[in-house]
C-alpha cells in the first residue's frame, strides 16, 4: 500500500483532479481526473494515467496518439484534494492537436473564445489509426 496515495482526499466518486504542467516552462497542459489506481499506475510506470469519466475506465495519456506525459514530479495541495503532475510532454497534450488543452482565451465582447495557439499535430491523421 502507498500511504501517500491513500492520504489524498478523493471525492465521492473516488476521484481527485490532476493538473498536468510542463516541467520545463510551467505551461498548464491539461486538467484530468484520477482515482487511486490511476495514480498508482502513474507512480509505477512514470507515465500519466487518468480515469476517464466518459469511458468509465483507466486511461494512459498518449495510449492512442503516442503523445505520452513522462512524470518528473508529483505534488499535492495543502488540503490533499488536488494533484499537480509536472511532466515532460511528448508532442502535445490536447486531443484536438494543440500542445496544451488551454488554447482558447476569453475576450470581452467577442462572439466566441479566441484560439491563441497553433496546432502541434493533425488529429485526423493521428487518431485515424
pTM equals 0.94
pLDDT of residue 128: 85
Is there a domain that residue 12 lies in? yes
> Is residue 30 a part of any domain in this protein?
yes
Quote the number of domains for the chain: 1
| Cell numbers that stand for 36 in this block | 487511486
pLDDT tens track for 80-117: 999 999 999 999 999 999 999 999 999 999 999 999 99
pLDDT along the chain (129 residues), means of 10: 94 98 98 98 98 96 97 98 98 98 98 98 91
Q: Domain of 32? A: 3-96
Q: What is the dihedral of CA 50, 51, 53, 54, to 10 degrees?
A: 70
Please state, in angstroms and rounded to a whole number, the distance separating the CA atoms of residues 18 and 68. Answer: 16
Question: What CATH number is associated with residue 46?
Answer: 3.10.20.810
Amino acid at each position: 500500500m502507498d500511504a501517500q496515495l491513500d492520504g489524498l482526499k478523493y471525492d465521492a466518486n473516488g476521484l481527485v483532479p490532476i493538473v498536468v504542467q510542463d516541467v520545463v516552462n510551467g505551461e498548464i497542459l491539461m486538467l484530468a481526473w484520477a482515482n487511486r489506481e490511476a495514480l498508482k499506475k502513474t507512480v509505477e510506470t512514470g507515465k500519466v494515467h487518468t480515469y476517464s469519466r466518459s469511458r468509465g475506465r483507466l486511461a494512459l495519456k498518449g495510449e492512442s496518439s503516442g503523445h505520452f506525459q513522462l512524470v518528473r514530479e508529483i505534488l499535492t495541495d495543502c488540503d490533499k484534494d488536488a494533484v499537480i503532475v509536472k511532466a515532460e510532454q511528448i508532442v502535445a497534450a490536447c486531443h484536438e492537436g494543440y500542445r496544451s488543452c488551454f488554447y482558447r482565451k476569453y475576450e470581452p465582447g467577442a462572439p466566441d473564445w479566441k484560439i491563441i495557439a497553433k496546432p502541434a499535430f493533425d488529429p485526423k491523421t493521428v487518431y485515424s489509426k
